[in-house]
Every structure is written in structure tokens, then in C-alpha cells.
Copies of this chain bind each other. A is one copy, B any other.
Amino acid sequence: MDKDQFYMQQAIELAKLGRFTTTPNPNVGCIIVKNDQIIGKGFHLKAGLPHAEVYALKMAGDAAKDATAYVTLEPCSHYGRTPPCADALVRSGIKRVVIAMQDPNPNVAGKGIKRLKDAGIEVMVGVLNEQAEAINKGFLKCMRTGKPYVQLKLAASLDGKIAMASGESKWITSSVARQDVQQYRAQASCILSTRATVQEDNASLTVRYDELPDEIRKIYPQENIRQPIRVIIDSQNRLTGNENIFSQSGETWIVRKQNIPIIKPNTKLIIESSAQNQIDLVELLTELGKNQINSVWVEAGAHLAGALIEQDLVDELIIYYAPKLLGHNAKDLCVLPNLTKLSLAPQFQFESVVAVGDDLRIILKRK
């Protein structure tokens, strides 16, 4: 790891501090270094608040002159909710800017880099690019494709079962695993689920601050944790408004095919009126993308899981495996009705495996 990578790594760690709050904005960290000393640090906390560079420059003050700035994402060049960071860097007298990656946002997309270069600043792009990609999977995918990054969470026994034949499923995984889920929920722009999960499990689909891992609560006060929007597919208009979910804090969006709203506080209707009977998942994700939902955390049953997989809409699988066997009569992890040949099986690749209490958490990416 060379010096540029060393400082960029620290900027990336800073950027991560925003991961529960920046949506729909990206996570960005900035470090300003002069004579091998860090003289400025900043990260983006929340849309509407200043960008990482602004905080770092403020901390550095006049010392920023002739210093090097490390930024995890190309500085913006446009007037959005805040003035352009590229201009602030130029004004500060910074001599060199190291950027992990270009911003795919069409309002930036190289213009920030050009602005810096035009002002005579030495610019280097691509340092720890992969790590910088990893902290903004949602923002980047949405900017590039218009659709959010989809994480499908599953919890199963070793033999891939999610409930007994009777429906009994409380609990297959341990409480530690269920707490681990909370931190993923807390990072997502929205939680996607279905009418069945909401009614049958009476799920509240909220982030419960008390259940977040200790190391997160140590850093983040309760007011810094958002409730992700709950997006619930209800194609048959069966939700009544009396379910648990409607009395939780945070917004609930109901996805129906017709204009039949549920009159409840913080509840909104999304109409997906494709010709078919089912909700068109591609259209739904596109609609979510248009609403600045960058990342979707899916917690649902085997049917929605299977439909998302079959249509190749899942970017990441997060599977919690409990070390037990439930046998052939128990309920299956995902319904894939059209899969008849082994060669057509959806392929993933293992990204990480971690012990979570007595269970394993396995993360896979689409291959």
C-alpha cells in the first residue's frame, strides 16, 4: 500500500460513517494531507448538509494551501443542494487532488475533475477504486442504470428450508443473526416486502435501535438512524391499514395495480399498472429508482425471492444459515417454477462468510 492508498483508505473509512444517513446521496470521505500530516477530515452525513470536502477544508483552514486532498468520489461541479466542491477545492489553494473514482452522476461525470485540472491542480483518479465502489453500491448502480441495488436477504436451515410444513418458522436463525439483519435494514433506502409477510408474520419491518450491534450504537446516536421506507407489494389490495406496519414510524409505500389508496399517516400508493396480473418487478424497481431509492433490502417469502432471482434482478444474496436440518417436508427457500435444467440455474459467487452467533452469514454476488 503506497502513501496515496494509505490516505485514501482513511478517507473511505470516514465515508462509511455516513452509511446510515446519506441516502439518496453517496457516502463520501475526504482527507487533507500536508507534509505527511492529516490537517483536514470530513465526511458527508446527510443530504442538505455540506459535503465531505467542505468539512475537511474548513478544518484545514489556510493550511490547505499546497496540500493534497483525498476524496473517495469525484468532487461535484454543479449547484445542487450545496455549492460545487470542486470550486471550494480550487479556492483553497490545494495543489493535488487524489480521487478514488469518477462520479457517474450525469451532473458531474468528469466535470469536477476537469474543473480542478483547468485550475492547474494535479489530479489523480482511480486510487482504491474498488473499495470506493463498494461503499456506494446503491448510489452507483442507480446512477448507472436507473434501478436500485437489490440485496435479497434469506434465512434458512442447512438444507435450505425457511419454515416447517406447518408454517412454524420462529425461529430458525438465532437472535444474534436477527440483530445482524438490523444493520442492513438501517443502511437500505427501502425495505421491500409483500402483503403476505406483513399479514402472516405481522412484521413491522423497522430498524429497532436497541437491536443494532453494540459497535454501531456506540458511534451512532438514535437520532442518526433513519427508518427506511417500507415498500409493500399488495397486488390484490388485501392490506387493510390495520396491520402492525402502519403504526410504525417512517414511511410505508403500498404497491398496487389500481388507485386504491390506504388512508393512513405517512402512507403512499405506488400504482404499477402493467397489463399482467402480477406486479411487474422491473417496472417497480425503475419506479423506485426514479424516486431516488438507491438500494432495496428485500425481506419476503419464497415467491418474491424466486421471482426476483428468476428475472435476474438480485445483485446480492445475504443468506443466514442456521446449523440445523429441517428435512424434505419443510418449506423451500425460493420458488423457481421455470427452472428445469441444471445449466439454467442462476449462478452467484461467494463474497464473504462470517460467523454470526451460532449461524453463518454468507454473502454472494450475481455472477
B159 and A342: CB pair below 8 A? no
A349 close to B (CB within 8 Å): yes
Contact call A159/B341, Cβ cutoff below 8 A? no
Determine how many copies of this chain the complex contains: 2
Of the listed residues A169, A319, A327, A328, the one surrounded by the most CB atoms of chain B closer than 10 A to its CB is A327
A317 close to B (CB within 8 Å)? yes
- Which residues of the partner chain B approach A341 to less than 8 Å between Cβ atoms? 164, 168
Compute how far the CA of A172 lies from the CA of B362 in the bound complex, rounded to whole angstroms: 18
Are A159 and B157 in touch, CB under 8 angstroms?
no
CA distance A337 to B327 in the complex (A): 7
* With contact pairs A302-B328, A339-B329, A350-B360 given, residues A334 and B159 touching in the complex (Cβ less than 8 Å): yes
- Bound-state CA distance A335–B329 (Å) is 8
Max chain B C-beta neighbours (<10 A), residue from A309, A323, A340: A323
Q: Is B323 touching A328 in the complex (CB atoms < 8 A)?
A: no
Task: Decide yes or no: A364 and B327 within 8 Å by CB, A340-B164, A341-B168, A350-B355 being known contacts.
Answer: no
- Residues on B with C-beta less than 8 A from A326 are 336, 339, 342, 345
Identity of the chain B residue whose Cβ is nearest the Cβ of A302 in the assembled complex: B328
Instruction: Give every chain B residue within 8 A of A264 (Cβ-Cβ).
Output: none
**A324 in the interface, Cβ–Cβ < 8 Å?**
yes
* Nearest neighbor of A359 in chain B, beta-carbon distance: B350
CB distance from A306 to the nearest CB of B (A): 7
A220 touches B (CB below 8 Å): no
What are the residues of chain B within 8 A of A335 when measuring CB–CB? 327-328
| Nearest chain B CB to A3 CB, angstrom units | 32
Residues in B whose Cβ lies below 8 Å from that of A327: 306, 332, 334-337, 339, 345
The complex places the Cα of A323 from the Cα of B345 at a distance, in Å, of 10
Question: In the complex, which of the residues A317, A342, A350 has the most CB atoms of chain B within 10 Å of its own CB atom?
Answer: A342
Contacts of A169 in B (CB 8 A): 342
A171 CB, min distance to chain B CBs, angstroms: 8
Complex CA distance for A160 and B324, rounded to whole angstroms = 12
Please tell me if A346 contacts chain B, counting CB pairs below 8 Å: yes
- The smallest C-beta distance from A127 to any residue of chain B, in angstroms, reads 28
CB-CB < 8 A to A216: which residues of B?
A: none
Complex alpha-carbon distance, A143 and B328, angstroms: 35
Q: List 7 A-B contacts (CB under 8 A).
A: A326-B339, A327-B337, A328-B332, A328-B335, A329-B337, A329-B339, A353-B360
